[in-house]
Amino acid sequence: MTDELRASNADREAVVQRLNTAFSEGRLDLAELDERVAKAYAAKTLGDLRGLTIDLPAGSASRPGLKPAPADQGPPQPPATAQNLKQAALELAHSRINAKLERDRQRVARRRQRYEMAHLRGYGGSVAAWASVSLICFTVWLVAGLTGSWAVPWFLWVAGPWGAVLLMRYLSGHSSR
pLDDT digits (tens, 9 = 90+) for 58-87: 764 443 333 444 555 655 555 567 777 778
For the chain, list residues with pLDDT below 70.
Answer: 1, 59-80, 119-122, 174-177
Question: Which residues have CB under 8 Å from 96's CB, separation 6+?
Answer: none
**8 and 65 belong to one structural domain:** yes
**9 and 47 belong to one structural domain:** yes
d(CA 133, CA 117): 25
Domain range spanning residue 44?
2-77
**128 and 157 belong to one structural domain:** yes
**72 and 82 belong to one structural domain:** no
pLDDT at residue 66, rounded to an integer = 37
Into how many domains does the chain fold? 3
pLDDT at residue 133, rounded to an integer = 93
Percent of the chain with pLDDT over 70: 82
Q: 97, 114, 131: which is the final residue of a domain?
A: 114
pLDDT at residue 120, rounded to an integer = 65
**130 and 146 belong to one structural domain:** yes
**82 and 97 belong to one structural domain:** yes
| Whole-number Cα distances in Å, 14 to 43, 46, 60, 76, 104 | 13, 12, 15, 14, 35
pLDDT at residue 76, rounded to an integer = 58
